[in-house]
Amino acid sequence: MRRSIAIDDVLSFPFSGVARGRCHLSPDAARAAYRYEGNITVFNLETWCVETSFVGDCPKWSPTDPNAIAYLKPNQSGVFIRCVDGAERHLGESIGSVKTGEWTYGGHTLEWSFDGMFLAALVERDSEGTESGSNEGSEGVEVVNFSPAASADALVVLEVRTGDATFEKAADPDETYECVAWHPSGDWLTVLSERPSTQVEITEKFSFETGHWIFDYHLFDIHLKDGNKNSRVGPGAGEMGLVKWSPDGKKLAFGYSPYPVEVRPVCAMMERDSDQIQILSEEYWCDQVAYWSHDSRKLFFNGLKGLSHRVVCVDTATKRTEEVVDWTGWTYLGGISQDGKTLLIHWEGLNNLRDVYAISIDSGQSKAVTHYTDQLDEYRLPTSGVVEWQSYDGLVLQGVVVSPCGHSMSAKRPTIVFLHGGPVGAGQAISDAEWDWLTTQGFQIFAPDFRGSQQYRYVEPPNEEMNYRDVMSGIEWLAQNGKCDPSNIALSGFSYGAILGAYIIGQTNQFRAAVLSGGSYGYTNLFELGLHVGRNAVREDDKWKASLQVPDWFLTSGICYVEQVETPVLLFQGEHDEPVEAQMYANYLAGAGKTVEYVLYKDEGHDLFENKGGHRDRLERKLRWFRKHLT
């Protein structure tokens, strides 16, 4: 007998699936390796059974030996090679005086040379180490001392046969290494770097004139013989993605953003002896350049368009692009066999967790390697799907709709509009336990995407006014099709969604309640702009703008519209997440006679998920707020 999702289930979600980006296919397509809850599992695709499991992360099969896999051990133990028979070796125990126990590792740390004789590793030499990368454990969290998201300050080359570290190249003081790719000759590696994200650098990388982040990427070759660096792109390039050399060594593929602000890169390449960038596909954002075909002609990458990540193939000669795997949700390519006939992916959607699948390219047939979605079998899952509508200027946008199990969206049911964070690339068609739970409480969910996510076409500038009109056009479309009552809706926003939500309730009184979490509402920007003014100055009028020279982007801050807000507002903020922003926004609302409640959570950061007691409190308060103000 299946049951509805309860609040305790929300607190234990997400039920674990395969860690994102942590599965890999052996070159002969005989085995798959994937990481789940701190362990690497090796699965035999011929006998269709698990062969072994061991503690580790970042599994990478050798390109020449289908029986050998490189991986990282936790607790900063370093890089290991493990054979299918269970034998393993530790590589690079030290580089001079720097022991591997003093290294932490980046997410795209390990890259095999084409001949399988060397491994390139990006490391951060930190004698104190870091604690990140949490996994399920006896108390729900297992701390692993390497950071999958960390950047690195050194490039190390390890010889697989001897285990020796044969090369080291430190990053310049003003950069960190993001990812690395071997050239097939083995003579050099191509490295992507970015300026470090210290607090000082963050301030320098944000333009208060435009309100946009400024990126400084650099793509260059490091020659192993002498350590010299030759620049390919930048420094000062826009956002970039992973880099991959073709097997023939003639083409370098990478993600590249030709835009000056934060936008996902598109799939691009350059010839070996040229610095000219060729855009291969503008239809999809290039979430990750993944694999070349064996003949160096076709390039497979994770492509993003709308709310779904797809596996996409582009012919570099004709620039013809096709979707190889077009499942709705988040799809990650974990390998392609040397014969080009088998793909390994893992997929997460609206009603499934992250499972691994083997797919035949010829037939398109898929078979599940893992079955973590079975954890949902005990629940009556809601009815969910993706809808499309035309915004005010004709741009087609997407959104997720979620309604009680067995029911479609209806004007008879109160609707909660959820605004995602980011905003760039943050909208996704994947399950959300909180949405599922709220549908059991009599609500239905609409999670509209908006052009600021940059998932439909490039928009400059992607400001709050555009996003506001996108959201309202989605609500209007639902109402016109009998899927919601526009007079019985509420708003919920997290991070950027809270920023946008504060702007929206300053423009319209259509929402009967709003819950905003982890937002920034414009108070701190007053001081960043040098505007030490009182509350009476925080309003939009031409005289104020002219006298204080306020940039237009600041006038989308929620704090500018407190006088116009009629929507009751509930604010959540973590103690370590600029609490002054929410506190002052609440003070301004209260001072203007508005209905507002402000809750500060001790020892919480931006995500507000560290403490389960606090998480429960937020869910309960949110539910009471919506029940109080919606009918």
Residue for token pair 């988040």: 330
pLDDT surpasses 60 at 600 = yes
Give the list of residues 6+ apart from residue 255 with CB closer than 8 angstroms, or none: 239, 240, 241, 242, 264, 265, 266, 267, 268, 286, 287, 288, 289, 301
Query: How does residue 119 score in pLDDT terms, banded at 50, 70 and 90?
Result: very high
Listed in order, the ranges of the chain carrying CATH 3.40.50.1820 are 383-522+562-629
Cα separation values, 401 from 2, 387, 486, 500, Å? 22, 7, 15, 20
pLDDT surpasses 90 at 416 = yes
Measured between alpha carbons, how far is 435 from 419 in angstroms, rounded to an integer?
12
More confident position, 354 or 200: 354
Sign of the four-CA dihedral 165, 167, 170, 171: negative
pLDDT surpasses 70 at 202 = no
- The predicted pLDDT at position 106 comes to 53
pLDDT surpasses 60 at 128 = no
170-179, 305-314, 462-471: range with lowest mean pLDDT:
170-179
If you count them, how many residues does the chain have?
631
- DSSP letters, 353-407, are EEEEEEEETTT--EEES--GGGGGTTB-PPEEEEEEEE-TTS-EEEEEEEESTT-
Query: How does residue 102 score in pLDDT terms, banded at 50, 70 and 90?
Result: low
Query: How does residue 174 score in pLDDT terms, banded at 50, 70 and 90?
Result: confident
pLDDT surpasses 80 at 137 = no
Q: What percent of the chain has pLDDT over 90?
A: 61
Q: Report, as an integer, the average pLDDT of 217-227.
A: 93
Measured between alpha carbons, how far is 190 from 197 in angstroms, rounded to an integer?
22
More confident position, 172 or 8: 8
pLDDT tens digits, 17-71:
888 888 999 999 999 999 998 899 999 999 999 999 999 988 999 999 999 999 9
pLDDT tens digits, 293-341:
999 999 999 999 999 999 999 999 999 999 999 999 999 999 999 999 9
- The predicted pLDDT at position 99 comes to 56
Domain 383-522+562-629 sits in CATH at 3.40.50.1820
Query: How does residue 134 score in pLDDT terms, banded at 50, 70 and 90?
Result: very low
pLDDT surpasses 60 at 143 = no
Q: Report, as an integer, the average pLDDT of 547-552.
A: 60
- The predicted pLDDT at position 538 comes to 47
pLDDT tens digits, 421-435:
989 888 999 989 999
Looking at mean pLDDT, say which of 161-170, 207-216, 561-570 comes out highest: 561-570
pLDDT tens digits, 490-548:
999 999 999 999 999 999 999 999 999 999 988 776 665 555 444 444 444 444 445 55
Answer for the pair 470, 393: CB distance below 8 angstroms, yes or no: no
Q: Which among 429, 444, 420, 427 is positioned nearest to 352, based on CA atoms?
A: 429
- The predicted pLDDT at position 534 comes to 43
- The predicted pLDDT at position 170 comes to 85
Answer for the pair 128, 104: CB distance below 8 angstroms, yes or no: no
- The predicted pLDDT at position 525 comes to 66
pLDDT surpasses 60 at 563 = yes
pTM for this entry: 0.87
Give the list of residues 6+ apart from residue 60 with CB closer than 8 angstroms, or none: 24, 69, 70, 71, 110, 111, 112
The neighbour count for residue 178, using CB atoms within 10 Å, is 22
pLDDT surpasses 70 at 207 = no
- The predicted pLDDT at position 79 comes to 87
- The predicted pLDDT at position 511 comes to 98
Answer for the pair 148, 58: CB distance below 8 angstroms, yes or no: yes
- The predicted pLDDT at position 151 comes to 45
Query: How does residue 150 score in pLDDT terms, banded at 50, 70 and 90?
Result: very low
Looking at mean pLDDT, say which of 107-116, 118-127, 167-176, 591-600 comes out highest: 591-600
Mapping DSSP to helix (H, G, I), strand (E, B) and coil, where does residue 8 land?
helix
pLDDT surpasses 80 at 291 = yes
Query: How does residue 100 score in pLDDT terms, banded at 50, 70 and 90?
Result: low
More confident position, 529 or 468: 468
- The predicted pLDDT at position 603 comes to 87
